[in-house]
């Protein structure tokens, strides 16, 4: 087995360390990059103002939100008093490092559907809920919270893009170095992978074992004709290592 890791730049090291400990060969090619959104104008009320609950979709959401808060006024701008939620464990850890106590989705379903099972998110009529995310994320979470009576707004703190890569060149590199397992941690990353690999190398991609973080991304992969797919049910290292049977 030789594993391709595809998280954004700077987000693969813990998985590299875990694979090294187990003697598993790997290759790192970030297939997603994230960029901060422009700062909020001082004349506009801050998105976190009056929030009862704050939901962070990803570790990137925490990082870019914290950067934006610090840039606004490092002396006075802080995370507000509210009830915090994290979709996955990596997001929970990012909040914990900031001293923020948060609830996270259950270990067996670290995604939107799991988060929605938490008891504090059941009786939420008229609660002011802010979802911190990147541009263009899923709408399912907000839709469910609105159905439960909450007032939901987004604070979009970053945007995703595909790094500038020569698809044919990089796919040939992967093939020639023996990549047979690919770890995908988001639907956007899968889209970028599919768009990068040229048609003449798609048979190689279909022969690879693809690790995905959710049922949604699994369905997305199968729709592209990829059949060797394992749903890790989360994007954290433990879930991925379990999916790799490590």
Claim to verify: residue 46 and residue 152 sit in the same structural domain:
yes
Q: Would you state the structure tokens that stand for residue 200, as one six-digit string?
A: 């003449």
Are both 84 and 11 inside the same structural domain?
A: no
Among residues 143, 160, 177, which one ends one of the domains?
Answer: 160
User: Are the C-beta atoms of residues 207 and 157 closer than 8 Å to each other?
Assistant: no
What is the extent of the structural domain holding 68?
Answer: 35-160
Print pLDDT tens along the chain (246 aa): 999 999 999 889 999 999 999 999 999 999 999 889 988 777 778 889 899 999 999 988 999 999 998 886 555 568 999 999 999 888 999 999 999 999 999 988 888 889 999 999 999 999 999 999 999 877 999 999 999 999 999 999 999 889 999 999 999 999 999 999 999 999 999 999 999 999 999 999 999 999 999 999 999 999 999 999 999 998 889 999 999 998
| Tokens (6 digits) for 27 | 């290759």
String of DSSP letters for 188-230 = HHHHHHHHHS-GGGHHHHHHSEEEESSHHHHHHHHHTT---EE
**pLDDT tens by residue, 165-208:** 999 999 999 999 999 999 999 999 999 999 999 999 999 999 99
Q: Which of 106, 130, 160 is the last residue in one of the domains?
A: 160
Question: Looking at residue 77, what is its pLDDT?
Answer: 63
Task: Output the domain CATH number for residue 226.
Answer: 3.40.50.10090
């Amino acid at each position: 087995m030789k594993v391709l890791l595809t998280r954004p730049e700077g987000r693969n090291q813990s998985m590299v360390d875990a694979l090294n400990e187990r003697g598993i060969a790997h290759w790192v090619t970030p297939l997603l990059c994230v960029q901060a959104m422009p700062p909020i104008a001082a004349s506009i009320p801050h998105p976190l103002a009056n929030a009862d609950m704050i939901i962070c979709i990803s570790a990137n959401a925490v990082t870019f939100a914290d950067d934006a808060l610090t840039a606004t006024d490092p002396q006075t701008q802080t995370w507000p008093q509210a009830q915090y939620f994290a979709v996955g464990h990596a997001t929970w850890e990012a909040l914990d490092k900031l001293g923020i106590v948060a609830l996270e989705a259950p270990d067996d379903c670290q995604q939107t559907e799991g988060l929605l099972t938490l008891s504090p998110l059941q009786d939420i009529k008229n609660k002011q809920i802010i979802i911190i995310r990147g541009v263009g994320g899923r709408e399912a979470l907000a839709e469910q919270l609105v159905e439960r009576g909450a007032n939901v707004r987004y604070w979009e703190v970053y945007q995703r893009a595909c790094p500038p890569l020569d698809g044919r060149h990089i796919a040939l590199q992967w093939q020639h170095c023996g990549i047979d397992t690919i770890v995908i941690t988001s639907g956007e990353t899968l889209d970028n992978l599919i768009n990068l690999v040229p048609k003449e190398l798609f048979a190689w991609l279909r022969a690879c074992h693809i690790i995905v973080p959710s049922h949604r991304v699994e369905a997305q992969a199968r729709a592209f004709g990829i059949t060797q797919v394992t749903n890790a049910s989360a994007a954290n290292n433990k879930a991925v290592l379990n999916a790799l049977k490590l």
